[in-house]
Each structure stands twice: as C-alpha cells, then as structure tokens.
Structure 1
C-alpha cells in the first residue's frame, strides 16, 4: 500500500477577527516560502484550477483581510455564523510541476469548533523526494506552528492515522509531532527520537531521521512507545487554546 502524508495543525475555540487571521496567514506564507520551491506562490481557491490561477494570493494585509472576511462561515440562508470563523483553501499553482494545498479554518470560537491548518504536499512526482524527508516535514510543521500557535500538530501518513485513531486519542503522535507548551512539558524520550523547541511556543518531536512508514513494525512500535510516555505525562488531552498574539 502506498502511503500518503499530510501535515496538520489544530487548535480549539479561539476568537480572532479577519485581521488577526490575515496576519497569521501572511506569516505562514512567508515562513513556508524558503522551505521548498513548491511554496513560492499561492492562489485562492476557486471552482476550477484554471480560475484559481487568475486569483493570486496577495500578502498586503488589507487584501488578505478582505479575502478572509469574504470566507466567513454562513448558514443556508447566507447569514453569517461568526462563531464558526473563516474557512478557506489555497493552491500553489503547481509550482515546480506539482500540487500543494492549504486548507484553513480559523477564528472559530464556538466551544465545539476545531480550528485547523492542513498542508498537503505531493507524495509522488517532481519534488516528492524532498517532501518525504524528516527535514521537510519538520520545517513545514514548524512554519504552521509558528504562524497559528496551535494546541498540537502532526506530520502523519493516512495509514498511520488510521492506526492511531483506533485508540481514540485527542492528539496524534505522528512522524513529526508538535505540542504547545500549554499542554505541559515534554518528558525524556527514547532514541532515536529528537525534540526541538519552537521558539517559546512549544516542542517538535521527531520520531525517525528516515521516512516513517506504517508498514515498518519498528516505526509503529516506536510511535506507540512515545505515545504512551506522552500520555503518561498528561500531554495528549487537547485543551482549549488561549488567545495569543503573533
């Protein structure tokens, strides 16, 4: 089975207006740009990819703010649902010959809302050899974490996610995992696991220096061991995110 991967950052209810979300989005785009040529440009989601190419994402704050405001969640009668926040999608315009996508839900403050930023980069084709490395996954997740200040995040394969979900955790431990300092302090972890700080916001946990695959029993066993240690330390229960500034 071919494993496909994605990188996601998630946080609970946090009321932020279109301007605050625009600032975070601008920060994300700026941080992703040096990670890989795939992220050189972004285009606003449209009914077709051809139409998207006519709608480049402009990083000037007022333009970003207007764009995000237009993507406020609405009900069936087109009435605004401010507590659900904003929802938008971006495409990289097939930079470097391959696709990348961003799916973002931000500013939601209904108690049951789950804000998110999910990055899908190519698993095959041009650029995939760079994407499927610990360095790429770590740098991309670091960018998401720095920009959005989520509760947690993970670079994970879909196959491994399905294994994880059987245990019904609030937080997944993936190939690379991010935990906000709001959740607590990361305990010592076994080799070859590495941990890296993300400024004063949280911690990245890197399970393996090589490509993590769910078809490798040693990889899955290591992920489970780390999950147990983090769970024992009380870090795998998601808590409401607190408002914070960039």
Structure 2
C-alpha cells in the first residue's frame, strides 16, 4: 500500500479578517503556482458550474478570495461563529485532483487549529512528479511565507501515526518547517539538511527521497529527529482550553 502523503501547515489562534486571510491566500497561490504547472488554476464549488470545468475558476486576487472566504464562515444555524474563522476547499482537476483545504482567521482557544493542507493527486505519473523533494520544499516555503504557521510538514498519514506521541504536538515529517517562535534548533544528525526560510523559520530535509512508513529505517530516523527536537522544547504544543459550558 502506498503512503497517503500530504502537506500541512498549522498555527494557533490568530484573529484575522477575511481580507487579511485573503492577502495571505493570494500570496500563497501565486507562490504555489511556481512549484508545478498543475498548481496554476484552482476551482471552487457553487451552482451553475459548466460541465466541461471542474468547478468555478478561482482568480488569485484579494477581492475574489475575500468573497470566497466570507462564504466559508462557520455558522450555528443562522448565527456566524466569528471566532471560528473561515474555511474553504479548492481543487485543480475534475478527476484525481490535488486539493487545498484552508482554515484561517480562527481565534477560539478551544476550536481546532488554523491550517492549510494540500493533498496531492493519487494519479501517476503526475503524483510521482509532485512527490519530489524540490517541489515539496517549494510548496512548504510557499505555505510558511504566506501563512506564517507554527510548523508545517510533508508526511503521510501512516508515518504520522507511527511517529507522533501526543495529540497536540509539532509533527515531524520527511520535510519539516519550524517557526523560530518555537525555539532554537538543536544539532541534528546527517543526512538532515537545514535551510532558512527568510527570517521566520527553518526547513528541515530529512531525506532527498520519500520517507515511507513501510521502511523501518525511515520510521526510526524520523522518530530520532522528533526526539531530539522534543528534548530541545520544539515539539510540545499547548493543549486548547476546553469549551466553556
């Protein structure tokens, strides 16, 4: 069974308007388009979609993205839950699409984290083209630059299940972005390669090749890097406060 790889960026409560989130989304989509030709056009759901298209085309400009995010406000009945922010999903093809799942602007202490997730297509050879370290490093850099997350990573669901120790923690993957807010990086073993992402954080390359959950050496090495980061205080995240009754 092949690993279910994804790219995920996560950050804690951050009160932002739809306009502020739209600025970040615009930057993200423009940067993402440089990573691969399949990332140049995205689509959304809605009524009246032409049959020949995967959805309504999304223009990567602030005005349209702000409207799109406002449509994704979280509601309880008719009441807008302002502190839960905005959610949207976009995709780039009719079949075997790559998807973007976005949750931003949330500032509830007990709601889920803000996040930007990219789920690569399962179609080959496009999948093989996307699941290369240089492409995914560009995707991670785009997410980090635009969304300023606490951490981001490229991993598989299967690897996360094997490596993660706590429910609320920084996840370490094949490629991992860590914000400087988390603390200082400790010395890490070869072949880990560290690149700065502007002045905001670091990108850790654990391997030039995909790290798979079926390879015991990959699991052991990822776990070792996680342990070293944990000892340096970079892994544990504060647990959300429970909802008030």
TM-score (norm 1): 0.90
- The structure 1 segments of at least 4 consecutive aligned residues displaced by more than 3 Å after TM superposition are 45-54, 165-169
The residue aligned with 2:146 is 147
**Equivalence map 1:1-246=2 (5 Å):** 1-46=1-46, 53-75=54-76, 77-94=77-94, 98-113=96-111, 114-168=113-167, 170-238=169-237
What SS does structure 2 have at the residue aligned with 1:163?
helix
Q: CA deviation at 1:59?
A: 2.2
- 3-state SS of paired residue (1:105): strand
CA deviation digits over 1:142-187, x for unaligned, max 9?
1111110001111011110111235545111111111111001111
CA contact (8 A) 2:46 2:55 kept: no
Q: Is the 8 A contact 1:108 1:115 kept in 2?
A: yes
* 48 and 151 in structure 1: CA distance in 2 versus 1, 3 angstrom threshold: farther
Report the TM-score when normalising by structure 2: 0.90
Equivalent-residue separation in structure 2 for 1:173 and 1:207 (angstroms): 9
Q: Specify every segment of 5 or more residues in structure 1 that has no aligned partner in the other structure, as ranges.
A: 241-246
Cα distance per residue 1:212-242 (max 9 Å; x no partner)? 11111111111111111100100012259xx
Query: Residue 243 of structure 2 aligns with which residue?
Result: none
Q: Is the 8 A contact 1:149 1:201 kept in 2?
A: yes
For residues 65-104 of structure 1, the C-alpha deviation after alignment (integer angstroms, 9 at most, x for no partner) is 12211211111x221000000010001125xx85110000
Residues 193 and 206 in structure 1, CA contact (< 8 A), matched pair in contact too: yes
| CA shift for structure 1 position 2 | 1.6
